[in-house]
Amino acid sequence: MEIGFGTAVSAVDSLNETLRTLESKELISKYGFKSQIGELLVTVPKLRDLFLLADELDYLSAYERLRIQGLKYAVFEANQVLEEIVVQLLKDRGGLVKKVRLYWVAYCVSQKLRKIRNKLDIRDLFNSIDDNIVFLSRRKENSQETSRRKETCSYLRENSIIGRDDEVENIIGMLLDSSNVQCNPSFLSIVGFGGLGKTALAQLVFNHPRVHAAFPLRLWTCISNDQNQLDICGTLKKILESANGQNHEGSTMDQVQSQLREQLASQRYLLVLDDVWTENHIKWDELVKNLVGPQKGSWILVTTRSKTTATMVGGAMYELQALSKDNSWHLFAKIAFRPDQSNPPDELVTIGRNIVDECAGHPLAIRVAGSLFCGQAMVRWQTFQKIGLAYCQESQRGIAPILKLSFQNLESPLKSCFSYCALFPKGFEIEKEKLKSLWMAQGYISFHEGQSIEEACEEYFSILLNRCFFQVVKKDHYGQIVSCKIHDLMHDVSQHISGQEMYVMKASCSELDKNVRHLSVSGTSDEYNLGRTNILSYLHFCEEGFQLGKVNMSYLESLVANCLNLKALDLSGFILERLPDSVSKLVQLRYLNISGNTEMKFLPKSITELDNLQTLMLRWCCTLKELPSDLGRLDKLRLLDIRGCISLTCMPSSMGKLTCLHSLSDYIVGDEQSYSSQSQWFGGLDDLKHLNNLRGCLNIQIRWPRHVKYVVKEDDEQDELCLGNKEHLIVILFDFIHEEADGRAGNEEAERLMEKLHPHHNLKFLEVKKYHGLKMPNWVAFLPNLVEICLTDCRELEYLPCLENLLCLKVLRLVNLAKLEWVGEDNSLADSSSTPTPHQLSSTEGLSYLLSLETIEMSNLPKLKGWRRGAGDDHQFLSGGSNNSSSNKAKLQSLPSFTALKSLFIWNCPELTYFPPCPNMEDLSLLKFNSRLQMILNCERDICGDKELGSLREAANVFSGCSSSLRHLIIRDCCTLSSVGGLEHLMALEKLEIRDCDNLRLSEEQQEEGVECTGINTNFMPRLTTLTLHGLRQLMSLPNWMQFLPALQSLEISFCNQLISMPNWMANLQSLNHLTVSGCSKSLKKRCQQEDPPGKDWPYIQHIGNIDFQECFY
């Protein structure tokens, strides 16, 4: 694969920006250097054009490539020299420079500018850069046709596709389901990166008999334009040709439109638009308006590599996944082994499976590998295994062109960003924020006016993610992407594109190639002696949570001395006693990561001399006691990560100067020992008001002083200034750390402080821990965008604010609130009467409450009485009558309901006797609750929970009331429960867990209350797919009703030590695909073993695809 020039374009952009900065300096003008700068400013844009054209060409001769590469490295060196000049000019910060020094600086600048001009003297490389740009432009025009993907068609040999049966059924099901028809036509996009089999899947669907029957008119058109172009007229002509079989090359747009409307008007159609690249909404909308027909139920099926394109198309999106390991092997074996090789040698099978693993489920790569191995001798197989698929020239000719298409359609800065990913090891989980910071450090991000570099960087990441270069690995609690991976084959692309520029060192090396600009290493640092280099990145990689060992100070000093041009230095995972003072010599350093250090107590003061530092990562430096007092000198710092720095007790007083900070993990307001006065204590928090660019998540740790009187004055004018101007913060965590306070005075001070920490109304997630106020601040009720509230360990909290205004609230978590009695206020029923009047009942009946609320957790709230506080409280409102009395039912039905609530968790709320109606509940967990607890799960039924429940048949009304909504049921720690009869009402139940119920004997269920097993019909829990039985000490055999679970796919049995055999009816569970047994008897494992010899129960379970017997103790 050709070496790319994307990073050269980014380097030229950086060079141009630095030249503009220098042009404005007084010294440059005073000593006559402005003309030299001007000459370079004329040359630089031409260099950019040359690199762009060279990067887009499919082929350059060896001579051309060598010459342009030489120019690329000259640009790299020019960048370094110019940055040295800038640093030299700024070295005397704000002071007067002596005359002698001025002349010396002027002389140095003159020499360095002359050096740059000589380096970039393009006449030695080409006779004229302009002529070469014209020459390369013509070649680009001639090569465009050959670089496009070969036109596809609808024909396919079905027996050549393996492992896509489920996908075909899923997509056909979506096309034929009338409930999916939302518009005419409807849209469905198949998304995945190149070579994954999107076209093949579309062909299978297109030619399926059910599709033939459902769509009288079926059309296939291959698009294959880049993302900015869409030939509408040409595309419509192709569609029309597919419809009537005629060529319409000479037809006008009007003629094509008229004939196409005529074709589409007569019948329902399926149109496949294969290989769509465009992300242009206007062009797409213009195309689609010509495809609207009167026949409802028509579909357009799109295949694309871009999620952005799929989102633009609209409708459903189907993300195609890699083949499973089994299907990957079947596909490889079908191609690599001849029909007469039904039993290939074991050594070939072993080598083949290793190669298949390297293909990572990619069908194209598997096909190419299989074809290379077919008919080859053993020695050839061994050679392939040794060099690997990625370095096999034959395989690259088959795979590279398809994958390279995706890369070539990226804009130049995105090419640089993706090429940089070659530094990460294969399969490495890449932290998103770390990757973005590294891109910024290298100057790869270009952004337009009004956009921050962080916003542009996020956009870059999203583009690469949506175009399937990245795969999401992990999201945080708030749904934000935390990490990603690069598919192995795309990683190979990045390594081939970057060439020697990005180098992964896997063994000891005394000298690097002069062309290496970015270096990543693994192992202990002492193995590497680099010598003097020009590298810009030095990255050490280790898995999070692991340490690489202790580093000698001499090694660090040598690293700094030999790598003075570093822009990114990552030493995370190493144990350092300290950083060397010489780190200040890394004047171009923009990224410094020393996370995971367990011995460093202080940072050197010289670190504040790193004028260009943008990112400082100190995560889990658990012994770090303080940050430098003049940290504010780092006025370009944009990210400071101090998560897990548990020894830090306060922030430096200069924090308010870091106005460029966009990401700050934690802000610590120290205890009274950190400040000389209480006014300084509050002043530490006051510094926050200057950090207006903070975005994302902020953890505010408040180390509450022992003597708290008058920390916050009542007439203080700090209201809302600390957080109210931070419109980009979406998550705030207030974490109070207490010593013993002065009783009630401490509560009042906490309340006053919280009132003054009013966040911006854009806040979405709020968490408060160990707050000692009696009530939450009033501003909580006026955060219209709030999605989640979590209150934990607030031991004095008695009141919550009104939540009814929080229309976006989806999650409410209340944990360990010892004094909380009511969640909300009951305004509608708040009068002097103890019982609501008929008028009041009718006024609330049928109302919905907190329309967006989906999840509620209430854990360890010992005094909680009910949801709403008022004159008509629970004890009075539900007074009189039994739990199931008609009067109480009527009263419950009159309460406002949680119509959106799907998940409710209640634990240790002994005073709670009612809960508002929840008609759409799916997941309900009740632990240590009041036996009189009542709630309505739909408009007609009520539930009465009883912790002394002996049989679930006593709650038959409960189950029949939620039979159409409950999806997940957990029965746990019910020590007196002896029967689970009554579950047959749960027709929608998908997952059932029964845990730690000591008296439950499932094997006797069929005899309960005289009910015979034969009386259970085939509709018994028809949707149950997952069943878990854990810690059932009395379980001696599986209950007979299990054989009537038609959808059961997964069965997990753990720590049921009395279970000694599997029943013969297990063979009836044909949908069962996973059986996991752990912590059970050894005799059960022996009866179920497959061989040596087969166990007695093996015939009953041999149809199950995945059987896993883990440790058996009894």
Per-residue confidence (pLDDT) for residue 943, from 0 to 100? 38
Per-residue confidence (pLDDT) for residue 840, from 0 to 100? 40
Could you say which DSSP state residue 1076 is in?
Answer: E
What b/e readout covers 546-582, taking b as 16+ CB neighbours within 10 angstroms? eebeebeeebbebbbebbbbbbbbbbbbbebeebbeb
* CA–CA distance, 1049 with 518 (Å, rounded to integer): 49
Closest CA relative to residue 605, chosen from 546, 652, 549:
652
Closest CA relative to residue 300, chosen from 241, 223, 227:
223
| 591 or 85, which is more confident | 591
| 533 or 872, which is more confident | 533
Model confidence at 131, pLDDT cuts 50, 70, 90, reads low
| 19 or 259, which is more confident | 259
Per-residue confidence (pLDDT) for residue 108, from 0 to 100? 63
- Which range among 245-259, 475-489, 660-674, 1006-1020 shows the weakest confidence by mean pLDDT? 1006-1020
Coil, helix or strand at residue 27: helix
410-500: which CATH number, 2.60.40.420, 1.10.10.10, 3.20.20.70, 1.10.10.350? 1.10.10.10
Tell me: pLDDT of 543 over 80: no
Best-predicted range by mean pLDDT (54-58, 128-132, 248-252, 885-889): 248-252
Per-residue confidence (pLDDT) for residue 832, from 0 to 100? 39
The burial class, CB within 10 Å (0-12 / 13-18 / 19+), for 191 is buried
934-936 sheet: strands from edge to edge: 914-915, 934-936, 942-944
Instruction: Please determine whether the domains at 158-319 and 562-792 fall in the same fold group of CATH.
Output: no
In the chain, pLDDT over 70 holds for what percent of residues?
76
Per-residue confidence (pLDDT) for residue 838, from 0 to 100? 38
- Which two tokens mark 919? 């008609």
Our CA angle for 754, 758, 759, nearest 5°, is 130
Mean pLDDT confidence for 245-261 = 87
pLDDT in tens, 783-822: 999 999 999 999 999 988 888 889 999 999 999 999 999 8
Closest CA relative to residue 3, chosen from 70, 77, 80, 75:
70
- Which two tokens mark 380? 């050839």
Per-residue confidence (pLDDT) for residue 198, from 0 to 100? 92
Q: What sign does the dihedral 890-895-901-904 (CA atoms) show?
A: negative
Crossing angle for the helix pair 412-420 and 6-23, to the nearest 10 degrees: 110
Coil, helix or strand at residue 732: strand
- Which range among 197-211, 914-928, 987-1001 shows the weakest confidence by mean pLDDT? 914-928
Model confidence at 107, pLDDT cuts 50, 70, 90, reads low
Per-residue confidence (pLDDT) for residue 326, from 0 to 100? 87
CB atoms within 10 A of CB 296: 12
Model confidence at 823, pLDDT cuts 50, 70, 90, reads confident
Coil, helix or strand at residue 1078: strand
Per-residue confidence (pLDDT) for residue 202, from 0 to 100? 94
* CA–CA distance, 20 with 24 (Å, rounded to integer): 7
Mean pLDDT confidence for 976-986 = 76
Per-residue confidence (pLDDT) for residue 868, from 0 to 100? 72
Mean pLDDT confidence for 778-786 = 93
- Which two tokens mark 473? 């690995």
Per-residue confidence (pLDDT) for residue 627, from 0 to 100? 95
* CA–CA distance, 730 with 435 (Å, rounded to integer): 21
Per-residue confidence (pLDDT) for residue 1007, from 0 to 100? 44
Contact at 8 Å (CB) between 305 and 194? yes
pLDDT in tens, 828-878: 444 434 444 433 433 344 456 788 999 999 999 999 988 876 534 444 444
Mean pLDDT confidence for 353-377 = 84
Best-predicted range by mean pLDDT (433-437, 703-707, 1012-1016): 433-437
* CA–CA distance, 349 with 333 (Å, rounded to integer): 9
Per-residue confidence (pLDDT) for residue 986, from 0 to 100? 80
pLDDT in tens, 66-87: 777 777 887 887 777 777 777 7
Mean pLDDT confidence for 498-504 = 87
- Which range among 475-484, 918-927, 1050-1059 shows the weakest confidence by mean pLDDT? 918-927
Which CATH number applies to 562-792? Answer: 3.80.10.10
949 Cβ partners below 8 Å, 6+ apart?
955, 974, 976, 977
Per-residue confidence (pLDDT) for residue 666, from 0 to 100? 96
Q: What are phi and psi of 696, to 5 degrees?
A: 85, -125
Contact at 8 Å (CB) between 651 and 668? yes
Contact at 8 Å (CB) between 844 and 801? no
Instruction: Determine the straight-line distance between the first and last CA of the chain, rounded to whole angstroms.
Output: 59
Which CATH number applies to 158-319? Answer: 3.40.50.300
Per-residue confidence (pLDDT) for residue 939, from 0 to 100? 36
pLDDT in tens, 429-446: 999 999 999 999 999 998
* CA–CA distance, 837 with 842 (Å, rounded to integer): 9
Per-residue confidence (pLDDT) for residue 1021, from 0 to 100? 84
| 285 or 405, which is more confident | 285
Per-residue confidence (pLDDT) for residue 883, from 0 to 100? 45
481-486 sheet: strands from edge to edge: 430-431, 481-486, 470-475
Per-residue confidence (pLDDT) for residue 147, from 0 to 100? 47
- For β-strands 518-521 and 537-540, DSSP reports them as parallel
Contact at 8 Å (CB) between 1006 and 1041? yes
Per-residue confidence (pLDDT) for residue 843, from 0 to 100? 37
Residue 995 CA, distance from chain mean position: 32
Q: Which fold has domain 955-1114?
A: 3.80.10
Tell me: pLDDT of 224 over 50: yes
Note every long-range contact of 140-145, with CB atoms under 8 Å and residues 24 or more positions apart, other chains counting.
140/53, 140/56, 140/57, 143/57, 143/58, 143/59
| 106 or 418, which is more confident | 418
Taking the domains of the chain in order of start, what are their residue ranges? Answer: 6-147, 158-319, 325-393, 410-500, 562-792, 821-947, 955-1114
Q: What is the mean pLDDT of the chain?
A: 80
CATH architecture for segment(s) 325-393: Orthogonal Bundle (1.10)
Tell me: pLDDT of 315 over 50: yes
Could you say which DSSP state residue 599 is in?
Answer: S
pLDDT in tens, 706-739: 665 555 555 555 455 689 889 999 999 999 987 6
Model confidence at 882, pLDDT cuts 50, 70, 90, reads very low
pLDDT in tens, 655-676: 999 999 999 999 998 765 555 5
What b/e readout covers 809-826, taking b as 16+ CB neighbours within 10 angstroms? bbbbbbbbbeebebbbbb
